[in-house]
């Protein structure tokens, strides 16, 4: 490692209005390494990535690229030095073809007309280089997410990228496609490219990266070799304090706890008959690959997708669920998987979000709102869930991710549900907020709520559930009980992938 | 400390964000002061009342379409509903006036029939848009063409005259120096303000425009909410059309062409986002009045009306640019 570093940042600072996003940050990224940046939301890792890739300009400090001081005015300027970005969301022209996307801005023309043969040739060179096999004429929107990421990688290579800043690239990918994506990142490294890898998934980071820089409150805590770190050591550095354990201790319901929720023979266009029982105080985990029908089942139980048959009973009473409003009346609430697309009204205040499902109880017969009571109740729930700031009249988009998720929880806990279906409780939020939400879920169960917990992060299921159901291809294929308080992770994963392929790739250790 | 926070806006707001949010207030106040200094005729009570009176036509529709836009829709059929409602009102008033038993009540029944027609057509728009899941822009463009076509068929392109002078009372009546129309449109604006800010339906309207899926998962019948919003805009276009018929004691199939566009322009100038989910009626009221001030100012200054159009167009462009800027900052 005597070679000149690719990137050397010296004392970078950046302020966004009231927030000091970067505070005197110095970091060295060597040529040809995968360098991970980890930290809680707001720690400054994305901002650092954006300064390096020319999306954001630092207020002060020096950025050396291959020893030369630069200050990029825009991403295009960074690209001239071979630096580009791949982020969480796909930034492709989804209605255009793979070929058009890969060579966007690099089109080969002859006599002012696109020269398809030469472009195809260039495309095939890139395919050979990466080992991908994508159809150049497929529309990007028809590809699965991991293949869309491949298109982004090829696009970066077509632009002669030497350093790729990857900001949460796997956050939107299902587990099985994440595996494919990570292989691709290793391949890029093998091709001599340098990668700055920003991620919340610590195990993924440790498996992948050569070095890891931990950030906290806009400063770097330390840079170390990934081999010398563990998830625990990273979390401790990120939080600035040691945490005994992420998950609260489990207290399963007593054996005679009443059966609160009973679903028998539930069917829909996408579900084979589903049977499901949850007792008071029980947390039933629902595992399975993305696309296995977990979220579909959740939505169907909530009346958001049509039910074609079967019976749902609450405390022994059969209930008819034809719409979300029926479910809410029956005391079945759903915290949906995507907080921005299905959960929150981003342009409205916290108050308007929290009370939306409960306005009938907060208004008179004519629909006139009891504003004062509404305010009082919202402040109470925001405080109870420790939403920061507990400002009911702040636009929900102005809260941090973790606090937005807490607002979403507040929305569904303003009135206590009998059955609470929680789909992906902690997606895209920082470690501190995650821990608070785990504690909350455990507390709700303790208070006697029946909880169905769906998560793509198997640790969450293992850490919280009292019993696990595994879904595959629209049906529940296995039930994994807890034996002496321990759930058999291997059994869950085998069932999720189907018994015929027990050696299928798995992300978790 | 947390008690102090209660109920207050705690967002940090920069000066430029405030300017963006309250551009319409500043623009309105600036133009008002400019006109006050420029011409003596402007600040007279008579001229002010005239401005308020003349604003009713666009005002009613603009306030109503604000509700539709906040709910995530668009209504391009208001001009046609305006014409149809006027025609129906005039027909009923004229023809029932010839039936002895109804002669006295005919003008009033005409008003009611016209306004009801507007509301009904609006609800039909709502059904078209929501239950058939057609894009609101195209759906109301098409329904507007159909409605205007029907108006042409039933009038045979002839003016419908109402002989009974009582028919005029809606538009020309007044309380003191204030024309009925001023009460009607400002009253409607107040009503819609209360609806949007103080009622359950108002919350549902914002929710439906902000994120229809989240609204649905909160148990809201988004289709019903949007249908009601279209009913409101149909009602307002109908009322506006009936007032116009009442004023001239006649109606015709080609009345109110393009009024919907001016109404939508007033909404945009006021600062309500055309993306839905946010906005306010008071903004639209100022937007409507701003357009009236421009017209009034140009008239008082004897400037060619051609320039007026260019100026209004530029103001609309400016307002849309501000809206885009606001969205980029978020």
Contact A343, A406 (CB under 8 A): no
Chain B nearest-CA distance from A224, in A, is: 36
Domain count along chain A: 2
Contact A305, A268 (CB under 8 A): yes
Mutate to test the interface with A, among B70, B215, B217 (most CBs of A within 10 A): B217
Interface check for A19 against chain B (CB to CB < 8 A): the answer is: no
Same domain, residue pair A78 and A27: yes
Judge: A343–B214 Cβ closer than 8 Å, yes or no.
yes
pLDDT of residue A243: 52
pLDDT of residue A257: 94
Residues sharing a CB contact under 8 Å with residue A131, sequence separation 6 or more, in sequence order? A187
Number of H-type helices and E-type strands within chain B: 16, 4
Interface check for B45 against chain A (CB to CB < 8 A): the answer is: no
Interface check for A254 against chain B (CB to CB < 8 A): the answer is: no
DSSP 8-state secondary structure symbol assigned to residue A341: I
Contact A51, A214 (CB under 8 A): no
Interface check for B10 against chain A (CB to CB < 8 A): the answer is: yes
Contact B72, B130 (CB under 8 A): no
DSSP per-residue string spanning A160-210: T-SEEEEESTTTTS-HHHHHHHHHHHHHHHHTT-EEEEE-S-HHHHHHH-S
CA B30 – CA A145 distance, rounded (Å): 52
First-residue to last-residue Cα distance in chain B = 28
Residue B251's H or E segment, with its range, is strand B250-251
Instruction: Report the share of chain B in percent with pLDDT over 90.
Output: 74
Q: Can you list the positions of beta strands (E) in A33-131?
A: 34-38, 60-65, 68-70, 83-87, 109-110, 113-114
- Give the CATH number of the domain where residue A287 resides: 3.40.50.300
What value, to the nearest 5°, has the Cα angle with vertex B105 and ends B104 and B110? 130
Long-range Cβ contacts of A124-132 (<8 Å, 24+ apart): A126/A102, A126/A154, A126/A157, A126/A158, A127/A154, A129/A157, A129/A191, A130/A154, A130/A157, A130/A184, A130/A187, A130/A191, A131/A187, A132/A184
Chain B nearest-CA distance from A426, in A, is: 18
pLDDT of residue A2: 53
Greatest alpha-carbon span in chain B? 73
Contact A430, A257 (CB under 8 A): no
CA A189 – CA A187 distance, rounded (Å): 5
Same domain, residue pair A167 and A305: no
CA A489 – CA A485 distance, rounded (Å): 13
Same domain, residue pair A31 and A84: yes
**Within-domain flag for A508:** no
Same domain, residue pair A31 and A179: yes
Same domain, residue pair A81 and A222: yes
Residues sharing a CB contact under 8 Å with residue A430, sequence separation 6 or more, in sequence order? A40, A41, A42, A200, A400, A401, A402
Q: Is B252 buried (19+), middle (13-18) or exposed (0-12) by CB count in 10 A? A: buried
ipTM of the complex: 0.88
Question: Of A182, A152, A22, A30, nearest to A90 (Cα)?
Answer: A152
Residue B292 binned pLDDT confidence (cut-offs 50, 70, 90): very high
pLDDT of residue A412: 97
Mean pLDDT score across all residues of chain A: 89
CA A417 – CA B231 distance, rounded (Å): 35
Nearest to A389 among B10, B213, B221 (CB): B10
Domain boundary (A239, A274, A306) is at A239
**Within-domain flag for A361:** no
Interface check for B71 against chain A (CB to CB < 8 A): the answer is: no
- Categorise residue A192: left if φ over 0, alpha if ψ from -120 to 50, beta otherwise: left
CA A311 – CA A313 distance, rounded (Å): 7
**Within-domain flag for A482:** yes
Domain boundary (A239, A269, A288) is at A239
Residue B106 binned pLDDT confidence (cut-offs 50, 70, 90): very high
CB atoms within 10 A of CB B247: 16
Contact B211, A344 (CB under 8 A): yes
DSSP 8-state secondary structure symbol assigned to residue A340: I
Chain A nearest-CA distance from B222, in A, is: 11
Pair of tokens at residue A138: 């497929």
pLDDT of residue A398: 86
CA B283 – CA B290 distance, rounded (Å): 10
DSSP per-residue string spanning A202-267: HHHHHHH-SEEEEEETTEEEEEEEGGG--HHHHHHHHHTS--S-SSPPP-PPPTT--EEEEEEEEE
Judge: B219–A18 Cβ closer than 8 Å, yes or no.
no
pLDDT of residue B13: 59
Same domain, residue pair A64 and A179: yes
Residues sharing a CB contact under 8 Å with residue A273, sequence separation 6 or more, in sequence order? A265, A266, A267, A309, A310, A475
Residues sharing a CB contact under 8 Å with residue A102, sequence separation 6 or more, in sequence order? A123, A126, A136, A151, A154, A155, A158
pLDDT one-digit tens code per residue, A441-473: 999 999 999 999 999 878 889 899 999 999 988
Interface check for A241 against chain B (CB to CB < 8 A): the answer is: no
Contact A213, A5 (CB under 8 A): no
CA B80 – CA A449 distance, rounded (Å): 55
Chain A nearest-CA distance from B11, in A, is: 6
Judge: A356–B220 Cβ closer than 8 Å, yes or no.
yes
**Within-domain flag for A250:** no
Nearest to B200 among A367, A390, A397 (CB): A367
Residue B6 binned pLDDT confidence (cut-offs 50, 70, 90): very low
pLDDT of residue B329: 62
Q: How many residues does chain B have?
A: 330
**Within-domain flag for A378:** no
**Within-domain flag for A503:** no
pLDDT of residue A242: 57
**Within-domain flag for A386:** no
DSSP per-residue string spanning A360-410: GGGB-TT-BB-HHHHHHHHHHHHHHTT-SS--TTSBGGGS-HHHHHHHHHH
Same domain, residue pair A219 and A266: no
Instruction: Report the share of chain B in percent with pLDDT over 70.
Output: 95
Task: Give A-chain residues touching B219 at CB under 8 angstroms.
Answer: 323-325, 327-329, 357
Paired sense of beta strands A450-454 and A283-287, if any: parallel
pLDDT of residue B9: 43
Judge: A345–B2 Cβ closer than 8 Å, yes or no.
no
Pair of tokens at residue A75: 């991403």
Place of tokens 């809260």: A399
Residue A508 in this model has a pLDDT that exceeds 60: no
Question: Of A231, A300, A251, A244, nearest to A457 (Cα)?
Answer: A231
Residues sharing a CB contact under 8 Å with residue B6, sequence separation 6 or more, in sequence order? A375, A379, A392
Instruction: Decide: helix, strand or coil at residue B190.
Output: helix
Interface check for A253 against chain B (CB to CB < 8 A): the answer is: no
Residue B52 binned pLDDT confidence (cut-offs 50, 70, 90): very high
Nearest CA in chain A to B5: A391
Domain boundary (A239, A273, A305) is at A239
CA A283 – CA A461 distance, rounded (Å): 9
Mean pLDDT score across all residues of chain B: 91
DSSP per-residue string spanning A89-105: S--S-TTSBHHHHHTTT
Same domain, residue pair A223 and A284: no
Q: Classify each residue of A195-234 as buried b or exposed e, where b means 16 or more C-beta atoms within 10 Å of its C-beta.
A: bbbbbbbbebbbebbbbbbbbbebbbbebeebeebebebb
Judge: A18–B12 Cβ closer than 8 Å, yes or no.
yes
pLDDT one-digit tens code per residue, B110-162: 999 999 999 999 999 999 988 888 889 999 999 999 999 999 999 999 999 99
Contact B84, B151 (CB under 8 A): yes
Chain A nearest-CA distance from B207, in A, is: 6
Judge: B219–A357 Cβ closer than 8 Å, yes or no.
yes
Question: Of A183, A175, A165, nearest to A201 (Cα)?
Answer: A175
Interface check for A343 against chain B (CB to CB < 8 A): the answer is: yes
Contact A334, B217 (CB under 8 A): yes
pLDDT of residue A486: 85
**Within-domain flag for A376:** no
Same domain, residue pair A289 and A215: no
CA B236 – CA B121 distance, rounded (Å): 11
Judge: A345–B214 Cβ closer than 8 Å, yes or no.
yes
* B201 strand-pairing partners: none
Instruction: Decide: helix, strand or coil at residue B140.
Output: helix
Nearest CA in chain A to B4: A391
**Mean per-residue pLDDT for A419-427?**
94
Residue B8 in this model has a pLDDT that exceeds 60: no
Determine the structural domain holding residue A22 and report its residue range: 7-93+148-239
pLDDT of residue B330: 54
Same domain, residue pair A160 and A228: yes
Paired sense of beta strands A450-454 and A467-472, if any: unpaired
Nearest CA in chain A to B201: A367
Contact A263, A476 (CB under 8 A): no
pLDDT one-digit tens code per residue, B308-326: 888 888 888 888 888 788 7
């Amino acid at each position: 490692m005597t070679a000149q570093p690719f990137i050397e940042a010296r004392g970078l600072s950046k302020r966004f209005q009231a927030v000091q996003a970067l505070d005197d940050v110095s970091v060295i990224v060597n040529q040809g390494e995968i360098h991970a940046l980890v930290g809680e939301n707001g720690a400054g890792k994305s901002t650092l990535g954006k300064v390096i890739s020319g999306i954001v300009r630092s207020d002060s400090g020096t950025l050396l690229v291959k020893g030369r001081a630069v200050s990029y005015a825009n991403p295009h300027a960074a690209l001239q030095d071979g630096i580009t970005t791949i982020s969480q969301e796909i930034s492709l022209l989804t209605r255009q073809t793979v070929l058009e996307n890969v060579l966007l801005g690099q089109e080969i023309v002859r006599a002012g007309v696109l020269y398809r043969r030469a472009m195809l040739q260039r495309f095939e060179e890139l395919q050979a280089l990466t080992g991908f096999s994508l159809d150049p004429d497929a529309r990007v929107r028809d590809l699965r997410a991991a293949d869309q990421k491949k298109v982004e990688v090829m696009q970066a290579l077509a632009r002669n990228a030497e350093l790729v800043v990857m900001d949460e690239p796997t956050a939107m990918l299902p587990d099985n496609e994440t595996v494919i994506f990570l292989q691709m990142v290793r391949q890029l490294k093998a091709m001599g490219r340098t990668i700055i890898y920003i991620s919340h998934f610590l195990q993924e980071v440790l498996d992948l990266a050569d070095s890891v820089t931990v950030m906290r409150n806009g400063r770097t805590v330390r840079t170390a070799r990934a081999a010398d770190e563990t998830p625990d050591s990273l979390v401790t550095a990120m939080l600035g304090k040691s945490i005994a354990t992420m998950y609260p201790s489990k207290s399963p319901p007593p054996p005679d706890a009443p059966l609160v929720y009973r679903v028998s023979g539930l069917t829909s266009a996408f579900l084979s008959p589903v049977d499901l029982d949850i007792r008071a105080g029980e947390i039933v985990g629902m595992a399975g690959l993305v696309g296995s029908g977990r979220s579909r089942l959740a939505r169907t139980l909530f009346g958001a997708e049509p039910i074609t048959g079967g019976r749902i009973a609450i405390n022994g009473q059969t209930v008819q669920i034809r719409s979300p409003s029926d479910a809410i009346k029956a005391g079945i609430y759903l915290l949906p998987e995507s907080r921005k697309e299905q959960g929150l009204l981003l342009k409205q205040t916290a108050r308007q979000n929290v009370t939306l499902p409960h306005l009938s109880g907060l208004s008179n017969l004519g629909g006139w709102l009891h504003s004062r009571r509404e305010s009082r109740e919202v402040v109470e729930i925001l405080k109870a869930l420790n939403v920061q700031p507990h400002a009911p009249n702040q636009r929900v988009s102005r809260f941090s991710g973790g606090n937005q998720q807490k607002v979403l929880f507040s929305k569904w806990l303003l009135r206590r549900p009998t059955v609470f279906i929680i789909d992906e409780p902690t997606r895209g939020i920082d470690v501190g907020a995650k821990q608070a939400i785990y504690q909350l879920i455990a507390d709700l169960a303790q208070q006697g709520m029946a909880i169905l917990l769906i998560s793509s992060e198997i640790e969450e299921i293992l850490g919280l559930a009292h019993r696990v159901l595994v879904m595959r291809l629209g049906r529940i294929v296995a039930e994994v009980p807890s034996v002496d308080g321990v759930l058999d992770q291997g059994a869950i994963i085998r069932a999720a992938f189907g018994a015929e392929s027990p050696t299928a790739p798995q992300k978790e250790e | 400390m947390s008690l102090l926070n209660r109920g207050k806006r705690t967002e940090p707001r920069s000066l430029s964000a405030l300017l963006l949010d309250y551009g319409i207030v500043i623009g309105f106040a600036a133009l008002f002061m400019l006109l006050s200094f420029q011409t003596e005729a402007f600040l007279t009570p008579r001229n002010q009342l005239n401005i308020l009176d003349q604003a009713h036509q666009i005002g009613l529709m603009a306030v109503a379409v604000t509700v539709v836009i906040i709910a995530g829709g668009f209504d391009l059929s208001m001009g046609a509903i305006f014409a149809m409602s006027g025609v129906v009102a005039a027909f009923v008033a004229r023809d029932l006036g010839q039936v002895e038993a109804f002669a006295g009540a005919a003008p009033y029944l005409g008003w009611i029939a016209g306004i009801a027609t507007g509301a009904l057509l609006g609800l039909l728009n709502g059904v078209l848009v929501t239950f058939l899941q057609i894009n609101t822009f195209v759906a109301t463009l098409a329904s507007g063409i159909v409605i205007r076509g029907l108006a042409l068929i039933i009038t045979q392109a002839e003016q419908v005259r109402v002989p009974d002078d009582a028919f005029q009372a809606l538009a020309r009546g007044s309380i003191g120096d204030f024309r009925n129309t001023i009460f009607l449109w400002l009253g409607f604006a107040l009503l819609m303000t209360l609806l949007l800010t103080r009622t359950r339906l108002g919350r549902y309207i914002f929710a439906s425009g902000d994120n229809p899926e989240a609204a649905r998962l909160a148990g809201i019948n988004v289709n019903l909410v949007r249908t009601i919003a279209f009913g409101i805009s149909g009602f307002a276009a109908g009322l506006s059309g009936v007032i116009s018929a009442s004023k001239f004691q006649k109606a015709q199939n080609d009345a109110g062409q393009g009024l919907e566009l001016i109404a939508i322009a007033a909404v945009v100038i006021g600062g309500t986002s055309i993306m839905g989910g946010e906005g306010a009626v008071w903004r639209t009221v100022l937007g409507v009045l701003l357009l009236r001030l421009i017209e009034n100012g140009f008239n008082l200054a004897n400037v060619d009306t051609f320039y007026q159009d260019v100026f209004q167009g530029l103001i609309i462009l400016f307002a849309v640019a501000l809206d885009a800027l606001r969205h980029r900052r978020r």
